[in-house]
Structure 1
Amino acid sequence: MGFQQEKRLVRDLYAALEAATPDRIAATLSEAVAPEALWRGFHPFGELTGPEAVAERFWQPLRQSLTRMQRRQDIFFAGRNEIDGFEGTWVVSMGHLMGLFDHPWLGIPATGKMAFLRYCEFNRVEAGRIVETAMYFDIPHLMMQAGLDPFPPQTAAHLVQPGPLTHDGLLYDDAPEAEGTATLAAINAMIGDLGQWQSGLPLVEELALSWHDDMIWWGPAGIGATYTIERYAKQHSGPFRAAFTDRSKTRHLARLAEGHYGGFFGWPNFTARHTGGFMGMPGSDRPGEMRVIDIYRRADDKLAENWIFIDLLHFWKTQGVDILARTTGIAGA
């Protein structure tokens, strides 16, 4: 039941990518990625098919912009996907891609300084190949590092976001199965009991059912990170719920856990209609899509930390606002 082969495949690919010159990235990906593999990335990338397209559209331009790039992982784990009846195996990596921002990327001006692209990647491995990938990344945070201001002032704080408090998130060795089962149960309790915004309890009491009081919610640029249940309710959860209606049911493509870590992603996770006020923006009569990755750390029987990736550029574009083009001045960026 272990995941050593799948983990080794992904780790070897990461090492090979870091060593590859830009012109060798497609060939490097092709050694580990199936020819028809589906790759999903945040706006403006969307869905790509096959390693050559991913190399040409994403990796080569990024590597040419962020020179001397390092993948600085904070969390690495694997597990079987609850959504498909625990058939598929996924390997998850989260951290920052760090390099010297020497050339513009997506219209974002270069700084010549260190820059960090916060990312989380889910890879589905089947028969010794990667056959599906979700690669989510915080482009607005990179924009802010370059001196751009894509959003109004956020309600919480956003820094270069650290890994787990416990510094034990790199599960290169397989964790005991019972620990992953407990983590998945804690995540499912949060989703099932709290995820529909209809518990009837005051928000702080509702959150306390699933979260430790000293929880940390590491949110994306434009929202920020917040510490303790009380501040999370005040600085994100409460304002977020108040700004949306007509929320659809939660839809995940993968949900898994290993050890004290777990997470999920959707495409989208849910839709909701913005009634106004979220991130200082006006309301709309159109539902918007929330493409999200959530990564969790469990402590005892509750959730202690949560790293969140939301494709805010895509969400606001569904509302008629092209944040990337507006901020960089490049149409279709």
Structure 2
Amino acid sequence: MADFQTEKAAVRACQAALEAATGESLGAVLAAHTTGDYRWRGYHPFGELAGADAVARTFWQPLKDALRHLQRREDIFFAGSNEMDGHASVWVVSMGHLLGLFDAPWLGIRPTGKLAMLRYCEFHRIAGGKIAETAMYFDIPHLMAQAGQDPFPLQTGAFLVQPGPRPHDALLHDPQDPETGRRTLAVINAMITDLGQWKSGLTLEDELARTWADDMIWWGPHGIGATYTIARYAKQHAGPFRAAFAERSQTRHICRLAEGHYGGFFGWPNFTARHIGGFMGMPASGPAGEFRIIDIYRRKGDKLAENWVFIDLLHFWKSQGVDILDRAGRL
């Protein structure tokens, strides 16, 4: 049974090298840890990038120039084989915050000269001991709010710098019991089955209770916010979200995996839906939009206890004719 130690070591080495690298050396450093056909998917406005040099020039160098002395504050780290390709590929997941001194503009966001934190989550596919593919989603609106340029109206959930898991046990650097991961993935899959249909015949709270603990915490993206307990999650996100959308497509993922009590997935997109009004205080917008999402879960017993969510809201609203970055730049 694979223990994923080689794959984890490859990602940790790349993370350390990127943190130490500066300026034009970033491209060479990233190239040393990635394959020649490296593919990167990122939050809007970055989209898909090809090759280490493009990723370094377009994303890492501008970010490190803006958030000086950048450091990774990692809360979750695990690996596993990908259920979506029959467990043929191995992926490594890292989630936490990128912390630095916000000393220069980034994407039109004004610097504060103060400490700032960018929520992130990344999935890395490993091939031949190197990173062949990355999906990296982050919460740009959360950074904008820290800089006094909050692009969204008052949200349904709470605006917080989000902590890691309650047990503080999610840096899975060592091998884990495979059966524990299989149990976690089974609960995630059961939840996806319920979530994907929106018509189970049960009340929303009863549907959620099938796979969620009563005291679950949903750590949502800025613009939606965090919420606690099934009842408040139903009231403050799941219920309003379902009421605001129609014609939701089937769920589809590029990667879905679990190790130990932690698991997650991402899609490009995960699903599409048509906004009929009310989401984030916005009016109906017409065409179906894409939802690019990363979800990370903690299982406790036979239920999901915590969920960290990254939704590319900038991409979704751009598809609806609203350029959030441009609008916020005028605040």
Q: TM-score range, shorter-chain basis? A: over 0.9
Corresponding residue for residue 53 of structure 1:
54
CA RMSD of aligned residues (A): 0.8
Percent of residue pairs bearing the same amino acid type: 68
Determine whether 1:134 maps to 2:135: yes
Equivalent residue, structure 2, for 1:115: 116
Distance 2:117 2:78 in 1: 22
1:38, 1:49 within 8 Å by CA — same for their partners in 2? yes
Query: What are structure 1's unaligned runs of at least 5 residues?
Result: none
Residue of structure 2 in register with 1:199 after alignment: 200
Q: Does 1:257 align with 2:227?
A: no
CA distance in 1, matches of 2:313, 2:195: 23
Aligned counterparts of 1:61 and 1:136: Cα–Cα separation in 2? 16
Q: Distance in 2 between matches of 1:238 and 1:198?
A: 13
> Which residue number in structure 1 is paired with residue 238 of structure 2?
237
Q: CA deviation at 1:22?
A: 2.0
Once residues 255 and 156 of structure 1 are traced to their aligned partners in structure 2, the CA distance between those partners, rounded to angstroms, is: 26
What residue in structure 2 maps to residue 158 of structure 1? 159
Shift of the alpha carbon at 1:196? 1.5
Matches within 5 A, 1:161-310: 161-310=162-311
Which residue in the other structure is 1:30 paired with? 31
Deviation track 1:47-72 (CA, whole Å, cap 9, x = no partner) reads: 00000000000000000000001100
Superposed, 1:1-150 pairs within 5 Å as 1-150=2-151
Distance (whole Å) between structure 2 residues aligned to residue 316 and residue 174 of structure 1: 41
Distance of 1:178 and 1:229 partners within structure 2: 27
CA shift, 1:171, in A, is: 0.2
Q: Which moved more, 1:10-19 or 1:218-227?
A: 10-19
Distance 1:194 1:28 in 2: 41
Q: How far is 1:239 from its partner?
A: 0.2
**Whole-angstrom CA distance in 2 between matches of 1:43 and 1:328:** 15
- The alpha-carbon deviation at position 194 of structure 1 amounts to 3.0
Secondary structure at the residue paired with 1:22? coil
- Is residue 107–residue 329 contact of structure 1 (8 Å, CA) maintained in 2? no
Partner amino acid, structure 2, of 1:90: W
For residue 157 of structure 1, what is the amino acid of its counterpart? Answer: A
Between the aligned partners of 1:22 and 1:84, the Cα distance in structure 2 is: 37
Q: CA deviation at 1:129?
A: 1.3
The Cα of 1:149 is off from its aligned counterpart by 2.0
Question: Structure 2: where are the runs of 5+ without partners?
Answer: none
Residue 24 of structure 2 aligns to a residue in which SS?
A: helix
Residues 53-97 of structure 1: per-residue CA shift (max 9 Å, x gap): 000000000000000011000000000000000000000000000
Deviation at 1:147, TM superposition (A): 0.2
Cα distance in 1 for residues equivalent to 2:160 and 2:115:
14
Task: Give distance in 2, aligned partners of 1:80 and 1:124.
Answer: 10
SS of equivalent residue, structure 1 residue 215: strand
Q: How far, CA to CA, are the matches of 1:91 and 1:166 in structure 2? A: 21
The 5-angstrom pairing of residues 306-321 of structure 1 reads: 306-321=307-322
Aligned counterparts of 2:105 and 2:268: Cα–Cα separation in 1: 28
Would you identify which runs of 4 or more consecutive aligned residues in structure 1 move more than 2 Å? none
Kindly state the Cα deviation for residue 30 of structure 1 after the two structures are TM-superposed: 0.5
Q: By how many angstroms is 1:219 displaced?
A: 0.0
